[in-house]
Amino acid sequence: MIDTISTRIAARMTGETYDHTVMDELAQTMLDRLCIRLGVQESNFPKLFYSVAVDATVKAWRRRYYEGISSENVSEMSTSFVEDVLSEYDDEIASYLEGLSTDDEEDTTGKMVVFL
């Protein structure tokens, strides 16, 4: 799976120079953080979130020299970064988790009724 994410990152970064080792580390970090937020193990990481992992990794790469900056103004140009790259995807994560809980309520597999 991380290989698929790395391949997709390379496709998005075509023409840009980057350190593959650092990018792979960023990709693994984003994957780890997404697994925590989604409540899944890496082996069960949903394919729907591969794009999120790729997007967040590229964003993390592009802001690496500005780590910790929240706002910068130079002349008429303003730069701001969010501290949490994945916060942009909170709605998608919440929708996914909400869908899981809805599916769980409808799934009666393994549920038992006990008569006393």
The whole-number pLDDT of residue 85 equals 86
Residue 25 tokens read as 């580390």
Amino acid 84: pLDDT: 83
The dihedral through the CA atoms of 39, 109, 101, 49 has a sign that is positive
More confident residue, 113 or 11: 11
> What is the average per-residue pLDDT within 93-97?
93
pLDDT at residue 70 is higher than 90: no
Confidence band for 48, pLDDT divided at 50, 70 and 90:
very high
Give the pLDDT mean for 39-51: 95
CA distance 84 to 60: 9
Cβ(39)–Cβ(97) under 8 Å? yes
Q: In this predicted model, what pLDDT tens digit does every residue of 7-29 receive, in sequence order?
A: 999 999 999 999 999 999 999 99
C-alpha span between 11 and 1 (Å, rounded)? 16
Tell me what pLDDT residue 107 has: 53
